[in-house]
A = this chain, B = another copy of it.
Amino acid sequence: MDLKFIYKNHKEYEGKEVSFIARIRSHRQGKNINFLVMNDGTTINDIQVVYTSDLKNINSISEARVSAILEVKGIIALTPGKQQEFEIKATNIELLDQAVENYPLQKKEHSPEFLREIAHLRARTKTFQSIFRIRSAAAFAIHKFFNENDFIYVHTPIITENDAEGAGESFIVTNRADDKYEEDFFAKKATLTVSGQLNAEAYAQAFKKVYTFGPTFRAENSNTSRHAAEFWMIEPEVAFADLNDNIELIESMVKYVINYLFEHNKEELLFCEQNLEKGLIDKLQNVKDSNFVINDYREVIEILKEAVKNGHVFEDSRIEFGMDLGTEHERYICEVVNNCPTFVKNYPKEIKAFYMKQNDDQKTVAAVDLLVPGIGELVGGSQREDDYDKLISRCLEMGIKQEDLWWYNDLRKFGYYKSAGFGLGFERLIMYVTGATNIRDVLPFPRTPRNLLF
């Protein structure tokens, strides 16, 4: 039996025998009575097993160490008033596999830094059990949301010749020890994708509604708590859709995921609230229940100017049209001003990507970011430029090579009427819904500069 099943049905099973295989989390031996705390990974709730020296193979069991695997048969006894609601009175225990003495995860507090060094083991702790259960559930919720809304899931390529935003910082994929890429596997320079958007756009023209959900890469040498070299992105794209449709889609997707977690992962969220972020549940409840505010970028600039005038001090207080918003500005808008998730739209074209639709004012593009309290930007999206000539001239202005992008630009020649989409960094979402403050703690095996273990 799975411990999840036993945990859920322990009342009906009172006085009955159950059997299960699980790992020892702690082992305490008394004079007459001994306690095992066990877990099999199917629930974050541990189960207490009580045994006495009457046990058939007491000698081997009494030597079982933390992390050893036991098969337990026993009777469920309710223990009202105690810390746990029930325990198992063992009738038979078999030691299936012993653990060595120096198992690194003994029952004590470990630092996040130490746990990152044992990423092959840390998922056994309650914190990482909670985080990675939530990660798995959120991934499923995203697939379910798009499936229910008739989106087609597209596996856009990982190895690519284009770098999407012209941002550079791509990893090279090669078979060679030099840069003679014309003699390489693909007979040209190949890189790891930074975004599936351009390919998704081609598929949106075929299926109307598509999304990607896959790994993306940045060879950015920044050792911060928010950057990883490898992370997962969700990128939907909808043909015949404009910026307002996009905003509606973002809001409904974010709320859907949080709803799903409330329905399926309340225990894990509560554990995260108690151990990672006070007020987590209220924060998420607030997002679920609020109507997100929509601000124009120009409005935001005015609000920030006013704030500075009234004495608010930002690290960067030179507020002017054309500036990129920093996290401090984003958080001020959604936390102090709106106290609510906030869309900011119509950014200056100079600070946004070449493919975003130019607005009639010639100065802004139909871009939108979703800012959320506590974190700032969570989602970035836009309506795409649908005019072939404008797209090409924007490429030229921004110095973007076109020879790799002919097929993308060409989409505009073959009937292209509005297309909009967004990108959601999956790890940023998981940090947001778990309260984890370091991206290394929401990736099973994180990849960062000079760090490639496991």
Which chain B residue lies CB-closest to A172?
Answer: B174
Closest residue of chain B to A158, judged by CB? B215
A431 touches B (CB below 8 Å): no
A314 CB within 8 Å of chain B:
no
Question: Taking CB as reference atom, which chain B residue is nearest A190?
Answer: B452
- Contact indicator A452/B188 (Cβ below 8 Å): yes
Verify A219–B185 contact, CB threshold 8 A.
Answer: yes
Q: Is A16 located at the chain interface by the 8 A CB criterion?
A: no
Q: A327 at the A/B interface (Cβ < 8 Å)? A: no
Pair B157/A407 contact, Cβ less than 8 Å? no
Q: Which residues of B contact A161 (CB under 8 A)?
A: 452-453
Interfacial chain B residues near A41, Cβ < 8 Å: 204-209, 239
B186-A414 in contact (CB<8A): no
Query: Which of the segments A301-309, A317-325, A440-448 contacts the partner chain?
Result: A440-448
> What 1/0 mask marks residues of chain A from 433 to 451 whose CB sits below 8 Å from any chain B CB?
0000000000111010111
With contacts A100-B414, A190-B452, A452-B161 taken as known, whether A171 is within 8 angstroms of B179 at the C-beta atoms is: no
Most chain B CB atoms below 10 A, which of A41, A139, A408: A41
Known pairs A155-B443, A407-B454; A203 contacts B123 (CB<8 A): yes
Q: Do A217 and B447 touch (CB < 8 A)?
A: no
Taken together as a complex, chains A and B put the C-alpha atoms of A203 and B205 apart, in Å, by 39
Q: Which residues of B contact A408 (CB under 8 A)?
A: 120
Most buried by B among A69, A103, A175: A69
The segment from A74-82, A129-137, A329-337 found at the interface with B is A129-137
Stretch at the interface among A146-154, A248-256, A339-347, A358-366: A146-154
Which chain B residues lie closer than 8 Å to A153 at the CB level?
Answer: 135-136, 139-140
What are 14 A-B contacts with C-beta separation under 8 Å?
A2-B208, A69-B417, A129-B206, A129-B207, A135-B155, A140-B143, A140-B153, A155-B215, A157-B445, A158-B192, A159-B447, A172-B174, A172-B176, A407-B454
Please tell me if the beta carbons of B155 and A450 are within 8 angstroms of each other in the complex. Answer: no
Chain A, 400-416, CB within 8 A of any chain B CB: 407-408, 410-411, 413-416
Q: Please give me the residue from chain B that is nearest to A147 by CB atom.
A: B140
Chain B residue nearest to A96 (CB atoms) is B417
- When A132-B207, A444-B203, A454-B407 are in contact, do A174 and B175 touch as well, CB less than 8 Å? no
* Residues of chain B within 8 A of A158, CB atoms compared: 158, 192, 215, 217, 230
Instruction: Closest B residue to A175 by CB, please name it.
Output: B219
Q: Judging by beta carbons under 8 Å apart, are B230 and A186 in contact?
A: no
Query: How close is A46's CB to chain B, nearest CB, in angstroms?
Result: 14
Contact B120 A407 (CB under 8 A): yes
Whether the pair B417, A159 counts as a contact (CB closer than 8 A) is no
Q: Is A68 an interface residue (CB 8 A)?
A: yes
| Distance of A147 Cα from B141 Cα, bound (Å) | 10
CB distance from A404 to the nearest CB of B (A): 9
What residues of chain B lie closer than 8 Å to A410, measured between beta carbons? 120
